[in-house]
Amino acid sequence: MSPPRLLAPAPVERACRCAWDEASSATLDPAEQAALAALSQWLDEPGLPYAILHGPRPGRRSVVAAHLVRSQLEGTAYAAQLVPLGPDLRLERDLIALLVSRLLADYGGGPPRRLRAQIADEHLREGPTQEDPSLLLTITDVEEAEPLVGWPALFSAVGPRVKVLATVEGDEAAARAWIPRLGFDPARTRIHPLPSRPWPAPGDPAELLAAAGAVPARLLGLLSVAYGRLPEDEITTALGAPIEGALAGIEPLVTAVDGTYALRWNAARREVEERLDRSARETSIRRLLSLAPDGYPCAYTRAHLEQAAAPLQAFAALVTEEHLARWVARPEGYLGFVADLERVRRRAVEALASGHEAAALAVRAALVEASMNWCARREDDDAPVGVEPLDRETPIADERKQAKALIALGAAMAAGPARAEVLAWAADAARRIPEAELRGDVLLDLAKVVEGEAGYAVAREALAALRTVEDAEDRAQLLLVATRALPPEEGVAVAREALASLRDGGGDPGDLDLFADRFPRAVAEALWADAEALPGPARARALAALAEVLGDPDRVRAAFAAVEQHADPYDPLAHRTLARLVPLLAVPEARRAAALAPRFGERAAELLEGLIPRLRALGDPAADLLEVLPEASRVRALARSLPFATEPGPLWARIDAALRRAEPLDRYGLLFDVGPWLGAAGESDALLALIAPLSDAHHLNALGFLARHDPAHAPELARRALPLALRLGADEPDRLLDLVPLARYLPPEGAAAAFGLLLDALAGDFRSAALAGDGVSLVRLAPLIAALAGDEGLAGAAREVVQVAAWFP
């Protein structure tokens, strides 16, 4: 009997089949039968989802585990699965492929990281439904994969109908040391010992190695350091001798399957390897890595580099088009390449202290993986995991996102040749955007970053693109946006052109107010007369927007008179128009605005919240207005008044009393209302004390928010927030994103850890989103890269944007 089979890549299936056939058919001795009985009893213990079977090297722990699986397959209580680590199953990509093939019966393809999360969340943490049998997952010889597999993300917090058994070489102390590495709960883990068993005669590796000739000894050396089964042609090349002669005298140790060779037992492999002197071991590895690049070195170079603690530069060759092409041609497909990307990326993050090359390599690996997520297509439902064809014919059309990422990286750099080069790459990408409106929009973003006359030239280029937009109203609004990047005299002409287009094309010339806050002062001055000539509500909106830019008291009074005349309570724009004037009003106009406020119903409180601090700033205590407000609005108005109070103590006392009367969750909501003003007043700790009973997630949000408004305490608040963000950010990276603008305050090791988690999330998305999406993207990570690696790191990341786009155009 064999476990249920679904397709996995050929080497994975072969390794699993070979291990199952040999282990499940072996006859158990009395000690092994006793261990099997103990494990069978463990299956009936509901409070113990984890077990570890341990023992010295000659023991047959994997044989006992396979018999446990076999006994369950003959019944109905458990759906049992065997995961036998060893030749061809010692790397993380192999484990993921095998788990997917065994657990995801409805597998529909996807990036390995998503598959790993799906296995952990749906099949291990939730577990089977009541209609299905419970799950028994047995993983043998876990030490074979150490330190090449990240265990805890998979096996922590398994569901109530899931059991996980691991077999480990060593004593009880060694078994207990594996508990946290596997993500098991110590209080819910059963530990079983298995006594030693002598090597089967004539299978003792020490005796066979001592008696072996030179060529057989070299073969044993190759097989002991190899991470996977070796095909005959590679053995012949590495040895310089045919396999037949090399097997002389060592046949009991070697197993042949489908033309490939490996040592028969994992324990035998370790026994032989430990008897090799350093020179012989290094020679064997060198022979393996000098084989054809598309053979053994493709699959296992990264593992050997990791075990040798090679410098980071050695790993860069694994993030190249050539390495991808070799992987795609192999039976495992691109699965192994993505595993290489993940490990190289994380290693680069760990090496950030070494300089900008580490940041650039980490970004490259993340962007390549995100590109592959786009190109991976599951065309064949029967294809093994990771062996789906890559669709590189359809281009990834994200010139706009490339340009945005490059602009963000360049904007974070200091002026100089490197910054100019990055912005030139951004301009090149922007000019390749086919849609005129999008091209003009991105060129305007670039113009804001490019200094001097060169910036004006880019703005004129953007203007030329925007003038080709067909819809007159859209075109006019876009021209209004463009005025911010042009020289003042040109901006005035373009703004008047846009206003004329809105009037003639049936648009609303009052839309001027949507863009006026971006106008240079000279443009706002020049447009005042044009705005005064507009009809009705449009005039009020435009004058208010221009008065906000100019700040001149006479202009503010004139704008308010127009707003007062057209204060239509059913027009949501009228409320917004009045609100933008509130911080500029003198006392008479502010009092008249307060009289207007009730017209706006539910929005009246919002207007009064702005008017009260304005009146206090002008010497009017506004007590009558304050008392008509509901408590939450009153608290906000008091907080906004703090900067203008000659004696802030009484205001703070009233705010504090109101917050203490509120429930903790209501206090939490109010914290974000009053935080900007109380934080600026240095009261962050007092606010945090009021939400003490709430969760770490609440505290993290509050710390990050207050750090942005309390400059004096920002470094301390950011450092307090970081450990919470790192703990919560593995599953919710947006929590870490909130701290990125505070990156300059974070300790280097903490910032690097945050960068690693965020790059994991970035790499799991599609490339366009990874460059400039709403979630984790390179645009949003620019401040973190700047803090960690400076201008060199930013320039290196920008170079990777360009180069990866050339891989996957």
For residue range 483-507, list pLDDT tens digits in order: 989 998 999 999 888 888 888 877 7
Contact residues for 621 (Cβ-Cβ < 8 A; gap 6+)? 615
Q: How many Cα atoms are found within 13 Å in the side-chain-facing hemisphere of 466?
A: 25
Mean pLDDT of the 53-67 span: 92
Contact residues for 76 (Cβ-Cβ < 8 A; gap 6+)? 133
Q: How far apart are CA 627 and CA 804, in angstroms?
A: 61
Which alpha helices (DSSP H) does 232-334 contain, by range? 232-239, 243-246, 266-275, 278-289, 296-307, 321-328
Among the listed residues 249, 253, 194, 178, the one whose alpha carbon sits nearest the alpha carbon of residue 223: 253
Q: How far apart are CA 438 and CA 726, in angstroms?
A: 36
- How many percent of the chain have pLDDT more than 70? 97
Q: How far apart are CA 782 and CA 407, in angstroms?
A: 10
Burial of residue 41 (number of CB atoms within 10 Å: 0-12, 13-18, 19+) = exposed
pLDDT at site 157: 85
- For 114-118, 447-451, 704-708, which range has the lowest pLDDT when averaged over its residues? 114-118
Q: What is the token pair recorded at 767?
A: 């490339």
- How many percent of the chain have pLDDT more than 90? 50
User: Is a pLDDT exceeding 80 seen at residue 112?
Assistant: no
pLDDT at site 734: 86
Mean pLDDT of the 508-529 span: 86
pLDDT at site 19: 84
User: Is a pLDDT exceeding 70 seen at residue 109?
Assistant: no
pLDDT at site 575: 79
pLDDT at site 382: 66
User: Is a pLDDT exceeding 90 seen at residue 231?
Assistant: yes
Contact residues for 44 (Cβ-Cβ < 8 A; gap 6+)? none
User: Is a pLDDT exceeding 80 seen at residue 731?
Assistant: no
pLDDT at site 371: 93
User: Is a pLDDT exceeding 50 seen at residue 58?
Assistant: yes
DSSP string, 557-572: HHHHHHHHHT--TT-H
Mean pLDDT of the 275-302 span: 94
pLDDT at site 107: 65
202 prior amide bond cis, ω within 30:
yes
- pLDDT, tens digit, 9 for 90 and up, residues 419-466: 999 999 999 999 999 999 999 999 999 999 998 999 999 999 999 999
Mean pLDDT of the 400-421 span: 97
User: Is a pLDDT exceeding 90 seen at residue 516?
Assistant: no
Q: What is the token pair recorded at 450?
A: 């490019």
- pLDDT, tens digit, 9 for 90 and up, residues 233-270: 999 999 999 998 899 999 999 999 889 999 988 889 98
User: Is a pLDDT exceeding 70 seen at residue 377?
Assistant: no
Contact residues for 582 (Cβ-Cβ < 8 A; gap 6+)? 590, 593, 607, 610, 611, 614
pLDDT at site 103: 80
User: Is a pLDDT exceeding 70 seen at residue 715?
Assistant: yes
Among the listed residues 410, 465, 459, the one whose alpha carbon sits nearest the alpha carbon of residue 439: 465
pLDDT at site 357: 85
Q: How far apart are CA 798 and CA 785, in angstroms?
A: 11
Instruction: Give me the residue label for tokens 């917050």.
Output: 659
**375, β-bridge pairs:** none
Q: How far apart are CA 789 and CA 356, in angstroms?
A: 5
For the chain, the residue count is: 809
DSSP string, 333-383: TTHHHHHHHHHHHHHHHHTGGG-HHHHHHHHHHHHHHHHHHHHB----TTS
The more confident residue out of 528 and 392 is 528
Q: How far apart are CA 79 and CA 94, in angstroms?
A: 21
Instruction: Assign 3-class secondary structure to 394-440.
Output: CCCCCHHHHHHHHHHHHHCCCCCHHHHHHHHHHHHHHHCCCCHHHHH
- pLDDT, tens digit, 9 for 90 and up, residues 533-583: 888 888 988 899 999 999 899 999 999 999 888 887 777 777 788 888 999
- pLDDT, tens digit, 9 for 90 and up, residues 585-599: 999 998 998 888 888
Q: Which pTM does this prediction carry? A: 0.87
pLDDT at site 1: 47
Q: How far apart are CA 237 and CA 233, in angstroms?
A: 6
Mean pLDDT of the 164-174 span: 95
Q: How far apart are CA 182 and CA 95, in angstroms?
A: 14
pLDDT at site 50: 96
Q: What is the mean pLDDT of the chain?
A: 89
What confidence tier does 402 reach under pLDDT thresholds 50, 70, 90?
A: very high
Among the listed residues 171, 175, 178, the one whose alpha carbon sits nearest the alpha carbon of residue 155: 178
- E-assigned strands of 647-722? none
Q: How far apart are CA 396 and CA 651, in angstroms?
A: 57
pLDDT at site 130: 83
